[in-house]
Structure 1
Amino acid sequence: MNICVFCSAADLDDRYVVPARQFAELMGKGGHALVWGGSDAGLMKVMADGVQQAGGKLIGVSVEFLAHKAYEGADEMLVTRNLAERKAQMLARADAIVVMVGGMGTLDEATEILELRKHGMHTKPVVLLNTAGFYDGLKEQFQRMEAEGFLPVPLTDLVFFAADGVGALAYLEERAGIQA
């Protein structure tokens, strides 16, 4: 399965790095490919290194203004003109999506992917990997949106919140089996 992972290119605390390494190893050992932003920095590098070292394939999708930070050892590296094209290419190459911890760019990617899913533009499973409770506030906001009628479909049809990589991968593998 090609798993698109949206995450930070920032260097982060071990409470985020260690679980990312574990998830990357699970992906690689499971024979999954990582579709990611193509960066050689931060959690993006942690994920790429871990997946590759565990035997998985790397499909990077960088953007022109960040191409100088592209990961050198990817199996495939596409460079897009802008961020919108990058997101579209990442989604096109993915069978499933995992959103890990990140900043504004990651949040933008997550909300766009969920909006597209809400409108039926894709049916790929989406997981928010809630490492160290990072997305607790967002989960609460999504639950409020649902309770107050802002979501035309149940929240559980849009996104799954996983506490760890094991739960995320189990959910994706189960959903992949259903979609096959």
Structure 2
Amino acid sequence: MNITVFCSAYSLDDRYSVPAAEFARLLGSGGHTLVWGGSNAGLMGLLADEVKAAGGRLVGVLVELLAHKGYQGADELVMTADLAARKAELLARADAVVVLAGGLGTLDEVTEVVELRKHGLHDKPIVLLDTEGFYAGLRTQLERMEAEGFLPRPLAELVSFAGTPAEVFELLAAAS
């Protein structure tokens, strides 16, 4: 499976890096391909290192502006002109989307793929790894949107939340 992962390009403490590394090892040892932002920095670089060490394949999708941060050990590195093209390429190459802890860029990416799924423009499962309750606020907001009629489809059809890296793969298997 090609699993597109959205996450931070910043180095984070063990609360976030340890579960991210565990997720990456499961991805790689499961024979999956990591499709990610292509960076060697932060959680992105950690993911790539761990997936590669576990035997997985790496497909990086990098914005030309950040070419100097490209992960040199990728099996394939795709350059895009801008962030919009990068997001489109990341989704196009995905069989599933997984979201780890991240900042504004990650939030932008996850809301876009959920919005596209809401409109039926893709049916790829989306799973957020809610490490340390990182996405609790987003989950609360999405649940309020559902309860107050802002979502035309049930939230459970749009996105799932996992508490552990292993649960991410259980949810992906159930969605297949």
TM-score by length of structure 1 reads: 0.97
Match of 2:152 in 1: 152
Match of 2:110 in 1: 110
Match of 2:168 in 1: 168
Q: In the TM superposition, what is the alpha-carbon distance from 1:175 to its structure 2 partner?
A: 1.4
Match of 1:7 in 2: 7
Alignment of 1:98-137 (within 5 A): 98-137=98-137
Q: In the TM superposition, what is the alpha-carbon distance from 1:56 to its structure 2 partner?
A: 0.3
Output the CA distance in 2 between the equivalents of 1:164 and 1:67.
32
Match of 1:37 in 2: 37
Q: In the TM superposition, what is the alpha-carbon distance from 1:173 to its structure 2 partner?
A: 2.0
Q: In the TM superposition, what is the alpha-carbon distance from 1:94 to its structure 2 partner?
A: 0.7
Residue 137 of structure 2 aligns to a residue in which SS? Answer: helix
Percent identity of paired positions between Structure 1 and Structure 2: 63
Output the CA distance in 2 between the equivalents of 1:137 and 1:148.
16
Matched, 1:88 2:88: yes
Structure 2: unaligned runs, 5 residues or longer: none
Residue 117 of structure 2 aligns to a residue in which SS? Answer: helix
Superposed CA deviations along residues 31-85 of structure 1, whole A, max 9, x for unmatched, are 0100000000000011101111000000000001111100000000001000000
Output the CA distance in 2 between the equivalents of 1:170 and 1:87.
25
Output the CA distance in 1 between the equivalents of 2:138 and 2:166.
21
TM-score by length of structure 2 reads: 0.99
Superposed CA deviations along residues 122-167 of structure 1, whole A, max 9, x for unmatched, are 0000001101100001100000000000000000000000011100
Match of 2:61 in 1: 61
Figure out how many residues of one structure are paired with residues of the other and give that number. Answer: 176
Q: In the TM superposition, what is the alpha-carbon distance from 1:112 to its structure 2 partner?
A: 0.2
Moved over 4 A (4+): none
Output the CA distance in 1 between the equivalents of 2:128 and 2:115.
14
Output the CA distance in 2 between the equivalents of 1:154 and 1:15.
31
Structure 1: unaligned runs, 5 residues or longer: none
Paired amino acid for 2:141: Q
Residue 40 of structure 2 aligns to a residue in which SS? Answer: coil
Output the CA distance in 2 between the equivalents of 1:174 and 1:140.
23
Q: In the TM superposition, what is the alpha-carbon distance from 1:174 to its structure 2 partner?
A: 2.3
